[in-house]
Amino acid sequence: EDQVTQSPEALRLQEGESSSLNCSYTVSGLRGLFWYRQDPGKGPEFLFTLYSAGEEKEKERLKATLTKKESFLHITAPKPEDSATYLCAVQATETSGSRLTFGEGTQLTVNP
Amino acid sequence: ETGVTQTPRHLVMGMTNKKSLKCEQHLGHNAMYWYKQSAKKPLELMFVYNFKEQTENNSVPSRFSPECPNSSHLFLHLHTLQPEDSALYLCASSHHGGTSYEQYFGPGTRLTVT
């Protein structure tokens, strides 16, 4: 069974204080690992897809990296508007269709 | 309209009511999904439709009944719900069978069962 564990559950940062969120996963064969951002009361917003170990993707202050067992979402010099819950999900190669398995998320708060 | 839209955004219903949630995607995708999101829990996949055909029913109680008349529209019919069914219901869509598998989500319907 595919599993995704995210840590920490919650993270408080001061504006400009860089940090990383972790996503550990267990899957028989990885088709893709996905990062989403979710604001309160809204649907998840797609950020990145990573397909193979060693791959990195960047968007503004966010950088996602992937190894064979985990992914990190690095946040450089965060701003208050980066406050949100960040979700990680995996898709297995043997999945029929496009089933995603999600973690519980990391709630990020960036204080001014 | 762009992306994935859902109506209504908020719904309060009694346990004996019947209501429907609507989802529409404007992305040209051919797969659509219903998820349930409860507090402190990961997103739970409920149903998957590929090319209008239901391909997954994740052990969802029969009081939830999905309908997919075409690849752009998805409905979730609700009847005799329980208070524990109160949650955020999210619709998503993706391209099935291609090289990109990311799902795009709508804003959700916040359902409260009284």
Q: Please report the sign of the dihedral spanned by the C-alpha atoms of residue B40, residue B42, residue B44, residue B50.
A: positive
Contact residues on chain A for B68, CB-CB shorter than 8 A: none
DSSP string, B64-108: EEEEEEETTEEEEEEES--GGG-EEEEEEEE-SSSS----EE---
Nearest CB to B94: which of A98, A101, A103?
A98
Work out the average pLDDT over B36-44: 91
Contact between A102 and B103 (Cβ < 8 Å) = no
Q: Are B36 and B48 in contact (CB under 8 A)?
A: no
Are B66 and B17 in contact by the 8 Å Cβ rule? The answer is no
Interface of A with B in 12-51 (CB under 8 A): 31-32, 34, 36, 41-46, 49
Average pLDDT of chain B, as a whole number: 91
Which tens digits make up the pLDDT trace of A74-99?
A: 999 999 999 999 999 999 887 656 78
Which is nearest to A90 in space by CA: A71, A108, A62, A64? A71
- Condensed to tens digits (0 to 9), the pLDDT of residues A68-78 reads 999 999 999 99
The answer to whether A111 and A12 have CB atoms below 8 angstroms apart is: yes
Chain B residues near any Cβ of chain A (below 8 Å): 4, 6, 31, 33, 40-43, 45, 48, 50, 55-56, 88, 90, 92, 94, 96, 100-108, 110
